[in-house]
C-alpha cells in the first residue's frame, strides 16, 4: 500500500522542477545523426505549423548554406538581423542575443546549437545564448548532431576519426522539453550527398570521404537512435516516478572518477558522464594533488583543471584533494560521499615502474569494499605519464632542490669525513661509516631525497676513498663494504621520501590553516564593519593576502544599477586610491549582478575578460559585484580556489546586507520621528486655525440670521431687520469661509509636499467624484454651465476619492475664477491605451501664451496681475495629487479659445466585478426586478 506512494522528496523535486519550467521557455531539439539529414528543414516545417496557429515566430539564425529547399521554406518568416562583430580586422556576423531578448517573440529558431560564437560575444557558446533565451521565457527550436554531444564526442571521434571541437553539454540535451529525431537511412543520405544536396564545411576532400562512409553513417545513426532512446527511457522513468508505477528503486550507482596527471583525464570524464547519465546517478570527479604534482608543468596542470571543469560542466561534483597518498585520499573521499564505484585511468604496461602495482591495483587492495573500474587505455593518449595518479611526476619532482641544499649535502659529507679523520685512530671503521650514515639522514630530513642521495653517494665515495683500505683509492678490498654502501644509499632514499611527504603535509596544513585564519579574521572584522567603505577595505586586504588578486567592490543603488567601484585600498594607507583598483567593465559587472551569476575570466560568460566578476549574493538580495583581477588567472580554475572565493563573497555579501539593513533601520527611525513631528504639527495647526474660523463663520451666520426678516424674529420682537448690517455679517462669513479654504489649501500642500500622504486607494467610478465636486463647486460656478460626458462603459479607476474630488473641485473653482459668467465648461473622459484621459475644457480667455506649464507651480497664477483673489495653489495641488496617483496633468490652450486641462491616469487592473454571480451590465438592465 504505502510502497505505491511517491517519495515526498521526489515529489517536491518534481514540483520545483515544474515550477522552474513553467517560467522558462520550452526547448525543442531537432536531433540528427550527421549533417545533411534535414534537421534545419524539419525545424522550419515545425515552425511553420506554429506560425500558422498564430504563434509569434522569429528566425534567430538559420544556416541555409545556399540550399534552395531550405531557403524556400525560410520564406515568410520574420528574420532577426545578425549582429556584426569586429574580429581581427574582419567583420563577422553572429546571432544577436540582445536583439532577440528585446524582440521577445514567443518562439525563436536558433540553428546549430553547438556553434561556437565569435570572440567578443557575451557567451562563448551558442547553447549558452539559448539558455538565456529560455530563461527569458522564450521558446526555442534548435538543431544538433549526435557528434556534438559532449559525452559522445570522443566515441564519434573514435568511429569516424574526425573530432569536432564544438560540443554541447549533455544536460542541455537531457533537459530539453522535447527532442525530435530526424532520421534518414544512410543510403538515402549518400544519395543526397552525391546529388550535392548536402552542405559540407570547407574541409579536406579526404576527410569528407572518410566521414561519409556507409559504415560511419550506420554507426552514427545507431548512436543517434540510441541516445534518443535513452532520453525516451529517461522520460519514461520520470513518468513512472510521477505515476509511482514501480515500487522498486535500486540504490543509486554513484561513482567517482579519479583524474590522474596524464592526458587521459578528459576521456575518463566523458566516459564517467556517459555512464552516470545511463545510470541516472550522481557522480564526482577528484584530482589528488600530491607534493610532487604540485610542481607539475603549467600545461599539464591546466589540462587537469580543464578536465575537472569539464566534469563540473557535465554535472559532476568536483574536488581537489591534497594528500601525499592518492590511494588513501581517494578511498576516504569515496567513503565520505558514499560512492561505491571508482573509475580510474589504466596504467600502461611495460612501464619502468614495474615493481610497483598500478594505482587501480593499489586502490583495490586498500579499499576492498569499493568497486574499482579501470578504464581501457586510449592508444592515442597513452603515454608513459598516463600511468597512474602520481608516480612519475613525484619521482621527477622529488629530485628538485635548491642549489644550497646540494652544497649543504656536500658540506655534511665533508664534516663527516673530517670528524671521521679525527676519530679514525680511536674507533672501528664501521662506526666511521655510521657517521656518514648520520650525515645522510640529516641531509635527508633537512633537504629531501635528492640531496640525501647525493650525500649517500658522496659519503660512500669518501668513506671508501679515505678510510677503507686501500686508502686514497676507490678500489675495495673487502666485499662486505658493498653492503655498507647499499644501506647508506637506501637510507638516503627512504629518509628523503619520508621527509618530502611530511614537509608537504605540513605545508598543506599551514596553507589551510592560513586560509581558515584569514577567513576567520575577515569574518570577525566584517562583523564589526559599519560602513560599506570599511567592508571594501577589509575585502581588499583579504583578497590581496589570500587570493593574490586586486579587487574592486561595486555596490548597487536603489534602482539596481551598479555604482562606480568602491576601490579597496591597502590597510591604513589613507583615502581610497583610484589607481589601486583594476579597470572594471561596468557592462559585464551589471550582467553578473542582474543574473546573479559570475561572469568574466574563468566563467562561461565572456571568459575573455581580464577580470572575474563575482556577484555578492546575500540571503535577501544580490548586494553588488566583486571584480577581481588575478595575478595568475590559472588559479581561477582550481575548485578549492573557487570555493574559497564563494565563501568569501558570501561573507562580504552578508556583511553588506547587514550594513544595508542597519542603514534602513536608522533611516526609518528618523523618517518616522520626523513624520510624527510633522503630523502633530499639521494637526495642531489645522485644529488651531479651524476652531476660530468655525466660530467666526458660525457667529456671522447667527448675526445675519438675526438681522433677517423672518417670522420668528418678528414674533420675538427683535430689532427691525437692518439689511446693511446683515450684508456686513454675510461678508464676514464669506471672507471667513475663504480664509478656511486657503488654510485647507496650504495644509494640503504642506502634506502633499512632504510626500507623506497616505492614499486611500479604492476602485471607483470617476462619475462619483466628478458629481460631488460639481455639487461643491456649484456656488462658485454661478451661471457657467458644465457638461459632463462620462460614457457608462468607462472602467473603474483606483484612486483616493477625497483627493481626486479636490482635483476636480480646484479645476472647477479655477474655471469659476477665470472665465466670464455664462462660459461653457466641458468634462469628458476616454480610455487611451493603458491610461484614462480626462479633459476639462472651458471657452474662456485661455492662458497667456507660454504659461501653460507655469500655472502648475506653487504661488503662480496665469496672469501676474489680476483682480481675482487667490494665491495660486489650486493647480499645484492638482498636480501633486495627480502625480501621487502616477498620473499626469497638463494645460493646453484650445484652438477654438479657452483652456483645456488634460489629466491622464493609469488604468491598472480593476478587481472582479461579479458580486453574487449577478449578470453585469453597464447600461440599465432589461431583466425583471
Partner 1 sequence: MNDAAPLILIIEDDAPIRRVLHSALAAEGFRLVEAETMQRGLIEAGSHKPDLIILDLGLPDGNGVEFLRSLRAWSAMPVIVLSARTLENDKIDALDAGADDYLTKPFGAGELLARVRAQLRRHHRVAEQAVVAFGDVQVDLVCRQVLRGDEPVALTPVEYRLLTVLLRHAGKVLTHRQLLQEVWGPGHVDRSHYVRLYVGYLRRKLEADPARPAHLVTETGVGYRFVL
Q: Does 709 bind partner 1 (CB under 8 A)?
A: no
| Nearer residue to partner 1 within complex by CB, 788 or 854 | 788
Smallest distance, Å, CB 674 to partner 1? Answer: 19
In whole angstroms, the minimum distance from the beta carbon of 792 to partner 1 comes to 7
Minimum CB distance to partner 1 smaller for 373 or for 761:
761
Q: Smallest distance from the beta carbon of 877 to partner 1, in angstroms?
A: 13
Q: Which is nearer to partner 1, 131 or 798 (CB)?
A: 798
- C-alpha 802 chain-centroid distance: 45
Q: Which of 556, 559, 561, 564 is nearest to 584 (CA)?
A: 564
CB nearer to partner 1: give 42 or 816. 816
For the bound state, the minimum distance from the C-beta of residue 769 to partner 1, rounded and expressed in Å, comes to 6
Interacting stretch for partner 1, rule CB under 8 A, among 112-120, 242-250, 548-556, 747-755?
A: 747-755
Q: How far is the CB of 754 from partner 1 (least distance, A)?
A: 13
Nearer to partner 1, 195 or 916 (CB): 916
By DSSP bridging, strand 90-94 and strand 83-87 are antiparallel
Site membership for partner 1, residue 791 (CB under 8 A): no
Least CB distance from residue 777 to partner 1, whole Å? Answer: 11
| Minimum CB distance to partner 1 smaller for 414 or for 920 | 920
Cβ burial, residue 584 (10 Å; 0-12/13-18/19+): buried
Q: How far apart, in whole angstroms, are the C-alpha atoms of residue 554 and residue 526?
A: 17
If the CB atoms of residues 229 and 831 are measured against partner 1, the closer one turns out to be 831
Q: Cα(433)–Cα(557) distance, rounded to whole angstroms?
A: 77
Kindly identify the residues of this chain, within the stretch 713-742, that bind partner 1 according to CB under 8 A: 733, 736-737, 740
Cβ nearer to partner 1, comparing 109 with 766: 766
Q: Does 926 bind partner 1 (CB under 8 A)?
A: yes
* Residues numbered 649-688 forming contacts with partner 1, rule: CB under 8 A: 686-687
Shortest reach from residue 671's CB to partner 1, in Å: 21
φ, ψ (nearest 5 deg) of residue 297: -65, 155
Quick one: 350 or 915, whose CB is closer to partner 1? Answer: 915
Nearest distance from C-beta of residue 872 to partner 1, angstroms: 21
Residue recorded with cell 591597502 = 570
Q: Is 81 in the site for partner 1 (CB under 8 A)?
A: no
For the bound state, the minimum distance from the C-beta of residue 916 to partner 1, rounded and expressed in Å, comes to 7
Q: Which helix (H) or strand (E) holds 289?
A: strand 283-289
Judged by CB under 8 A, which stretch of 270-278, 506-514, 547-555, 769-777 contacts partner 1?
769-777
- Select from 536, 588, 706, 877 the one that contacts partner 1 (CB under 8 A): 706
Binding test (CB under 8 A) with partner 1, winner from 208, 434, 693, 750: 693
Q: How far is the CB of 814 from partner 1 (least distance, A)?
A: 19
Member of 796, 826, 852, 906 binding partner 1 (CB under 8 A): 796
Residue written as cell 544599477?
561
Angle at 564 between CA 562 and CA 565, to 5 degrees: 100
751 binds partner 1 (CB under 8 A): yes
Tell me if 759 contacts partner 1 by CB under 8 A. no
* Continuous segment of H or E residues that includes residue 813: helix 801-818
The DSSP letter of residue 116 is B
Question: Is residue 697 within the footprint of partner 1 (CB under 8 A)?
Answer: yes
Per residue, what are the HEC states of 331-383?
HHHHHHCCCCEEEECCCCCCCCCCCCCCHHHHHHHHCCCCEEEECCCCCCCCC
**Residues 244-273, mask of contacts with partner 1 (x by CB under 8 A):** ------------------------------
Provide, rounded to whole angstroms, the least separation between the CB of residue 885 and partner 1.
15
Which residues lie across from 798 on neighbouring strands? 763
Residue with cell 587537469: 304
Q: Which helix (H) or strand (E) holds 259?
A: strand 255-259
Q: What is the 3-state secondary structure (H, E, C) of 623-675?
A: EEEEEEEECCHHHHHCHHHHHHHHHHHHHHHHHHHHHHHHHHHHHHHHHHHHH
Query: Residue 792 interacts with partner 1 (CB under 8 A)?
Result: yes
Partners of 842 in beta bridges: 825
Q: Do the Cβ atoms of 889 and 879 come closer than 8 Å?
A: yes
Instruction: Rule CB under 8 A: say whether 927 interacts with partner 1.
Output: yes
Query: Minimum Å distance from CB 808 to partner 1?
Result: 10
Q: Is the peptide bond before 470 cis (omega within 30 degrees of 0)?
A: yes
What is the closest distance, in whole angstroms, from the C-beta atom of residue 702 to partner 1 in the complex? 5
* In the complex, minimum distance from the CB of residue 784 to partner 1, in angstroms, rounded to a whole number: 14
Closest CA to 348 of 369, 375, 327, 330: 375
From the CB of 882, what's the least distance to partner 1, in Å? 17
User: In 67-225, where do the E strands start and end?
Assistant: 78-79, 83-87, 90-94, 107-110, 139-145, 178-182
Query: Applying CB under 8 A, which of residues 101, 801, 826, 884 lies at the interface with partner 1?
Result: 801
Task: Choose between 215 and 792: whose C-beta lies nearer to partner 1.
Answer: 792
Task: Work out the angle between the directed axes of helices 639-706 and 532-542 (0-180°, nearest 10).
Answer: 180
Q: 919: helix, coil or strand?
A: coil
DSSP strands (E only) in 151-245: 178-182
Length of the chain: 929
**CB-nearer residue toward partner 1: 516 or 684:** 684
Site for partner 1 contains 571 (CB under 8 A): no
| 692 counts as binding partner 1 under rule CB under 8 A | yes
Neighbouring C-beta atoms of residue 798, cutoff 10 Å: 18
Cell 535577501 found at: 620
Decide whether 438 or 907 has the Cβ nearer to partner 1.
Answer: 907
Beta carbon nearer to partner 1, 74 or 769: 769
Applying CB under 8 A, among 82, 690, 817, 890 the residue interacting with partner 1 is: 690
In contact, 806 and 877? CB cutoff 8 Å: yes
Give Dmax over CA atoms of the chain in angstroms: 162
C-beta closer to partner 1: residue 483 or 912: 912
Q: Pick between residue 466 and residue 750 the one whose CB is nearest to partner 1.
A: 750
d(CA 364, CA 733): 107
Applying CB under 8 A, does 782 fall inside the site for partner 1?
no
**Judged by CB under 8 A, which of 674, 712, 753, 785 binds partner 1?**
712
**Least distance to partner 1 from the beta carbon of 690, Å?**
5
The radius of gyration of the chain's CA atoms, rounded to the nearest angstrom, is: 43
Number of residues that bind partner 1 (CB under 8 A): 61
Does position 915 interact with partner 1 (CB under 8 A)? The reply is yes
Three-class SS of 131-156: HHHHHCCCEEEEEEEHHHEHHHHHHH
Q: With contact defined as beta carbons under 8 Å apart, do 861 and 874 qualify?
A: no
**Phi-psi category of 3—alpha, beta or left, where left has phi over 0 and alpha has psi -120 to 50?**
alpha
Q: Quick check: 908 binds partner 1 (CB under 8 A)?
A: no
Q: Does 746 bind partner 1 (CB under 8 A)?
A: no
Under the criterion CB under 8 A, does residue 135 sit at the interface with partner 1? no
The one segment of 238-246, 295-303, 596-604, 770-778 that binds partner 1 by CB under 8 A: 770-778
Cell 501621487 found at: 884
Task: Report in angstroms how near the CB of residue 755 gets to partner 1 at its nearest.
Answer: 16
Q: Which of 97, 101, 108, 175 is nearest to 142 (CA)?
A: 108
Pairing of strands 341-344, 178-182: unpaired
Interface with partner 1 by CB under 8 A: which residues? 686-687, 690-699, 701-702, 705-706, 712, 733, 736-737, 740, 744, 747-748, 751, 760, 762-765, 767-772, 774-775, 788, 790, 792, 796, 800-802, 805, 910-911, 913, 915-916, 918-919, 921, 923-929
Amino acid at each position: 500500500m504505502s510502497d505505491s506512494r511517491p517519495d515526498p522528496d521526489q515529489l517536491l523535486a518534481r514540483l520545483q522542477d515544474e515550477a522552474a519550467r513553467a517560467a522558462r521557455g520550452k526547448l525543442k531539439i531537432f536531433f540528427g545523426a550527421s549533417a545533411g539529414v534535414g534537421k534545419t528543414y524539419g525545424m522550419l516545417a515545425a515552425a511553420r505549423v506554429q506560425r500558422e496557429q498564430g504563434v509569434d515566430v522569429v528566425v534567430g539564425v538559420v544556416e541555409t548554406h545556399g540550399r534552395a529547399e531550405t531557403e524556400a521554406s525560410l520564406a515568410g518568416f520574420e528574420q532577426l538581423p545578425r549582429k556584426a562583430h569586429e574580429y581581427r580586422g574582419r567583420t563577422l556576423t553572429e546571432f544577436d542575443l540582445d536583439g532577440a531578448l528585446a524582440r521577445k517573440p514567443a518562439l525563436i529558431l536558433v540553428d546549430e546549437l553547438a556553434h561556437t560564437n565569435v570572440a567578443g560575444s557575451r557567451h562563448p557558446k551558442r547553447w549558452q545564448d539559448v539558455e538565456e533565451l529560455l530563461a527569458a521565457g522564450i521558446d526555442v527550436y534548435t538543431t544538433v548532431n549526435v557528434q556534438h554531444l559532449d559525452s559522445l564526442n570522443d566515441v564519434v571521434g573514435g568511429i569516424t576519426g574526425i573530432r569536432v571541437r564544438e560540443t554541447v553539454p549533455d544536460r542541455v540535451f537531457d533537459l530539453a522539453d522535447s527532442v525530435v529525431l530526424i532520421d534518414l537511412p544512410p543510403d538515402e543520405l549518400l544519395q543526397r550527398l552525391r546529388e550535392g544536396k548536402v552542405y559540407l564545411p570547407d574541409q579536406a576532400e579526404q576527410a569528407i570521404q572518410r566521414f561519409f562512409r556507409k559504415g560511419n553513417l550506420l554507426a552514427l545513426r545507431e548512436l543517434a537512435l540510441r541516445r534518443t532512446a535513452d532520453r525516451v527511457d529517461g522520460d519514461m522513468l520520470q513518468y513512472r516516478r510521477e505515476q509511482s508505477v514501480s515500487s522498486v528503486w535500486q540504490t543509486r550507482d554513484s561513482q567517482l572518477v579519479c583524474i590522474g596527471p596524464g592526458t587521459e583525464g578528459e576521456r575518463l570524464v566523458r566516459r564517467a558522464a556517459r555512464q552516470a547519465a545511463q545510470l541516472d546517478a550522481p557522480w564526482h570527479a577528484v584530482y589528488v594533488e600530491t607534493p610532487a604534482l604540485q610542481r607539475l608543468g603549467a600545461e599539464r596542470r591546466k589540462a587537469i583543471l580543464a578536465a575537472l571543469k569539464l566534469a563540473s560542466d557535465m554535472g559532476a561534483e568536483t574536488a581537489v584533494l591534497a594528500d601525499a597518498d592518492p590511494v588513501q585520499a581517494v578511498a576516504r573521499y569515496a567513503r565520505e560521499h558514499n560512492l561505491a564505484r571508482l573509475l580510474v585511468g589504466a596504467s600502461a604496461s611495460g612501464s619502468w615502474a614495474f615493481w610497483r602495482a598500478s594505482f587501480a591495483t593499489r586502490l583495490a587492495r586498500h579499499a576492498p569494499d569499493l568497486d574499482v573500474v579501470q578504464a581501457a587505455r586510449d592508444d592515442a593518449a597513452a603515454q608513459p605519464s598516463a600511468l597512474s595518479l602520481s608516480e612519475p611526476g613525484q619521482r621527477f619532482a622529488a629530485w628538485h632542490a635548491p642549489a644550497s641544499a646540494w652544497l649543504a649535502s656536500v658540506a655534511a659529507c665533508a664534516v663527516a669525513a673530517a670528524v671521521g679523520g679525527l676519530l679514525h685512530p680511536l674507533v672501528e671503521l664501521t662506526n666511521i661509516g655510521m657517521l656518514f650514515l648520520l650525515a645522510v639522514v640529516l641531509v635527508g630530513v633537512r633537504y629531501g631525497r635528492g640531496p640525501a642521495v647525493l650525500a649517500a653517494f658522496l659519503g660512500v665515495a669518501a668513506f671508501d676513498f679515505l678510510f677503507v683500505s686501500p686508502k686514497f683509492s676507490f678500489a675495495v678490498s673487502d666485499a662486505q663494504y658493498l653492503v655498507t654502501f647499499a644501506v647508506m644509499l637506501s637510507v638516503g632514499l627512504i629518509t628523503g621520501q619520508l621527509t618530502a611527504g611530511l614537509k608537504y603535509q605540513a605545508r598543506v596544513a599551514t596553507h589551510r590553516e592560513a586560509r581558515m585564519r584569514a577567513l576567520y579574521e575577515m569574518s570577525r572584522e566584517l562583523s564589526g564593519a559599519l560602513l560599506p567603505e570599511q567592508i571594501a577595505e577589509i575585502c581588499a586586504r583579504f583578497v590581496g593576502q589570500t587570493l593574490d588578486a586586486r579587487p574592486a567592490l561595486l555596490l548597487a543603488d536603489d534602482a539596481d544599477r551598479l555604482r562606480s567601484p568602491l576601490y579597496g585600498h591597502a590597510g591604513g594607507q589613507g583615502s581610497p586610491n583610484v589607481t589601486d583598483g583594476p579597470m572594471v567593465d561596468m557592462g559585464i559587472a551589471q550582467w553578473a549582478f542582474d543574473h546573479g551569476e559570475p561572469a568574466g575570466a574563468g566563467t562561461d560568460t565572456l571568459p575573455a575578460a581580464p577580470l572575474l566578476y563575482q556577484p555578492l549574493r546575500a540571503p535577501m538580495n544580490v548586494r553588488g559585484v566583486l571584480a577581481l583581477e588575478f595575478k595568475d588567472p590559472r588559479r581561477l580554475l582550481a575548485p578549492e580556489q573557487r570555493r574559497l572565493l564563494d565563501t568569501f563573497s558570501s561573507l562580504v555579501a552578508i556583511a553588506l546586507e547587514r550594513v544595508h539593513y542597519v542603514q534602513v533601520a536608522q533611516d526609518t527611525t528618523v523618517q518616522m520621528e520626523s513624520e510624527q513631528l510633522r503630523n502633530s504639527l499639521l494637526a495642531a495647526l489645522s485644529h488651531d486655525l479651524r476652531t476660530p474660523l468655525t466660530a467666526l463663520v458660525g457667529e456671522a451666520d447667527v448675526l445675519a440670521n438675526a438681522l433677517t426678516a423672518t417670522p420668528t424674529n418678528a414674533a420675538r420682537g427683535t430689532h427691525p431687520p437692518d439689511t446693511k448690517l446683515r450684508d456686513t455679517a454675510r461678508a464676514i462669513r464669506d471672507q471667513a469661509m475663504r480664509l478656511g479654504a486657503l488654510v485647507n489649501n496650504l495644509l494640503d500642500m504642506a502634506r502633499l509636499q512632504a510626500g507623506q500622504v497616505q492614499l486611500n486607494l479604492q476602485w471607483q467610478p470617476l462619475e462619483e467624484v466628478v458629481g460631488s465636486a460639481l455639487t461643491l463647486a456649484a456656488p462658485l460656478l454661478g451661471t457657467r454651465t458644465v457638461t459632463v460626458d462620462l460614457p457608462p462603459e468607462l472602467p473603474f479607476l483606483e484612486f483616493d476619492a477625497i483627493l481626486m474630488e479636490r482635483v476636480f473641485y480646484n479645476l472647477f473653482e479655477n474655471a469659476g475664477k477665470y472665465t466670464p459668467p455664462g462660459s461653457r465648461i466641458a468634462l469628458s473622459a476616454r480610455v487611451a491605451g493603458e491610461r484614462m484621459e480626462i479633459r476639462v475644457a472651458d471657452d474662456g480667455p485661455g492662458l497667456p501664451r507660454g504659461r501653460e506649464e507655469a500655472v502648475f507651480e506653487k504661488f503662480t497664477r496665469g496672469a501676474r496681475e489680476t483682480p481675482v483673489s487667490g494665491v495660486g495653489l489650486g493647480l499645484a495641488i492638482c498636480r501633486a495629487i495627480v502625480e501621487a496617483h502616477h498620473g499626469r496633468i497638463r494645460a493646453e490652450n484650445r484652438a477654438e479659445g479657452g483652456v483645456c486641462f488634460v489629466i491622464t491616469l493609469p488604468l491598472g487592473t480593476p478587481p472582479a466585478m461579479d458580486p453574487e454571480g449577478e449578470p453585469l451590465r453597464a447600461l440599465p438592465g432589461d431583466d425583471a426586478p
